[in-house]
Amino acid sequence: MNETTSQQHQRPVPSGAQPEASDNPLLDFAALPRFTAFDPSQVAPALDVLIAQAREALEQVTDESVPLTWDDFVEPLDEATERLARAWGIVGHLNAVADTPSLREAYNANLPRVTQFWTELSQHEALFARYKAFAAQPEFAQLSAPRRRTVENALRDFRLGGAELVSPARERFAEIQERHAALSQKFSENVLDATNAFSLYIDDESRLDGLPADAREAAREAAQADGRDGWKFTLQFPSYLPVMQYANDRSLRETVYRAYATRASELAAAPADADERAALDNAAVIDELLALRAEEARLLGYANFAEVSLVPKMADSPQQVIDFLRDLAQRARPFAERDLAELREFAAERLGLTELESWDLAWASEKLKESRYAFSDQTVKQYFQLPRVLDGLFGLVGRMFSVDIVPDEAEAWHPDVRFFRIEREGALLGQFWLDLYARASKRPGAWMDDARGRRRRGSEVQTPAAYLVCNFQPPVGGRPALLTHDDVTTLFHEFGHGLHHLLTRIEDAGVAGISGVEWDAVELPSQFMENFCWEWDNVRAMSAHVETGEPLPRELFDRMLAAKNFQSGMQTLRQIEFALFDMRLHSEYQPGGERPGSGVQALLDEVRREVAVVIPPAWNRFQNSFSHIFGGGYSAGYYSYKWAEVLSADAYAAFEEAMAGPDPARAVSETGRRFLDEILSVGGSRPAIDSFRAFRGRDPQLDALLRHNGMVEASVAESHA
């Protein structure tokens, strides 16, 4: 889940009541969502029914006459809240991938109602008391491990939800939740609208020198769609990135970089109207979000919001996270400094750039990589046609986990969306939608979200369903969509999240799949899958040149492999910069400043001085579009990417060890089965560290991550210093 994850509700709720069909698709849980029948006007009426039903169930299970058993106490409320969560999940998903004014209006109008209900539920004294009594019974020990884990998580979430607060703190906590939800939504809307507000039309073709043919063609088609001649460039990533990597026109790169780096800020290039630009400025939104989070932490008895955020995570304290990040930064710094020195020397000697600006970095790096390794990302891109990549991905997953992935049919929200099912020996395990192309109505980034979870109901098992979303360049010029190798890695990453959700064997939805998994472990399966993008057999199987059909040559792959850790030091420090900024922001920052956002900027500048080797311009407003921590669920959790990378690298090392043995095919198959059994299938039914130990036979170690990133020598050198 690069941009967002499926853990968007305040507490995990099970999936899947099966009532009769309804004219309102949001009230029809008999099958998969009916997207083609959806209209924003249906949102409010559906919520009227579902919230009323949930409150009725709440009243039922808090009646003292109801026995404190799983079937009588837990299930009825879970049934009702699951239906509400599924319906609202459809609305939220469509709001992210098919934004329209009417849908946005309906979403924002009803967001306070939904937030209020979940807050009321998390603070319900009688329900909390009954959960505590349920857990205190001798019979509780006889429940299955997943059910005990579900109840333990619920008790934790009650405490984090303010159930132990008394008036007026209780009411203030509820106000904070409602305002926080509205601000997070506003942050995301501002980023989307600011991204869409910018467009640059180029009439002089000479300014496009260096741009790949497919990027030019996409820009021409975009201009034609607006009834214009020439070429249109936007801040959508498939348009933005080729300019930064390949455009030889330095002023073009600067213009596009400045627009991207100042999105949703007071310095934004678009919209041109000052009032509209101010309305999209996220600085004040950030300040208020941070103030609300700090206040929430104080109400709950914590020193800061980072402590609250870490309660359901693997890490013990903010300081432990900060120490981990600083240790990793120290190990990476020698490589990052070498990377930058090499880039500066190359730019001065070969490109005539005595000063490297931020808008030069990607372009100069691409030139250096081409010079050193004799290939470009654009060359590699011609070999990765999306249909072939999907076949390769599905084949790999099939071999590793003994499943089949085949096309299926279901309603979708856009003609480009495809639908598939995962089977084992003909039995349905799960289904998923693939929405892979960028468009103006869709939020940036890539993510997996759940449509419904696995759950047993009587003699039947509800199978899970997932949304897999990316923002790749659509097909142009009548050819299949082409992916960069980074795009391929992103697809494998999100599919790893999907496998975690879809291959679970747990039948209690609160801990099935990704539900209940510690946030800093949820990236383990996704980052684990990325490693297979660097295995020759897999790459060869999923590559075919768009013109000749020939697979990627081994000699080119070897050069890609040699370049795998190109600038890994700089890239590692960049991620640490974001993670350390996030953790310090939520553990020590005090909101306030001369102008909105000034204090946040000052802290980010301080973090950059500590760990970065590349300092962006003073006008860079990265934080104003940092959706992970202000519009998604990664606040005081962005470090999860680096920590999960430790877990995933160490887990993949088990496959490397298997492949080095006398019977690689059998060993890899057996290792894949263990990964399925001990990581994917158990979901959140036990602590993530226990799952890792069960798979690896020991605690995680940093060695594999350092080795995979080419940083072993620096680490060893430092240890002997």
As a whole number of angstroms, the distance between CA 337 and CA 234 comes to 33
**And the tokens for 402?**
């003994």
Task: Tell me if residue 342 is catalytic.
Answer: no
Strands 231-234 and 199-202: antiparallel
492 and 533 in contact (C-beta within 8 Å)? yes
Side-chain-side CA neighbours of residue 308 (13 Å): 23
Q: What is each CA distance from 402 to 426, 501, 669, 698, in whole angstroms?
A: 11, 16, 9, 26
Q: Specify burial of residue 47 (Cβ count, 10 A radius: 0-12, 13-18, 19+).
A: buried
158 and 131 in contact (C-beta within 8 Å)? yes
Q: Cα(first)–Cα(last) distance of the chain, in Å?
A: 38
As a whole number of angstroms, the distance between CA 679 and CA 695 comes to 7
Look-up of token digits 């075919």: 544
**Which DSSP symbol is given to 678?**
I
**And the tokens for 584?**
């310090």
630 and 621 in contact (C-beta within 8 Å)? no
> How many Cβ atoms from other residues are within 10 Å of residue 709's Cβ?
21
Look-up of token digits 């996704």: 526
**Helix, strand or coil for residue 576?**
helix
Catalytic residue among 3, 189, 494, 577: 494
Side-chain-side CA neighbours of residue 255 (13 Å): 16
Which string of DSSP letters, residue by residue, matches 88-153? HHHHHHHHHHS--HHHHHHHHHHHHHHHHHHHHHHH-HHHHHHHHHHHHSGGGGGS-HHHHHHHHH
469 and 460 in contact (C-beta within 8 Å)? no
**And the tokens for 423?**
């089977």
356 and 347 in contact (C-beta within 8 Å)? yes
Q: What is each CA distance from 39 to 25, 32, 63, in whole angstroms?
A: 9, 16, 37
Instruction: Using alpha carbons, select from 566, 172, 193, 513 the residue that is nearest to residue 369.
Output: 566
Q: Which residues pair with 482 in a beta bridge?
A: 385
As a whole number of angstroms, the distance between CA 62 and CA 65 comes to 8
As a whole number of angstroms, the distance between CA 245 and CA 362 comes to 5
As a whole number of angstroms, the distance between CA 513 and CA 523 comes to 13
H or E element that contains 452: strand 447-452
Catalytic residues: 494
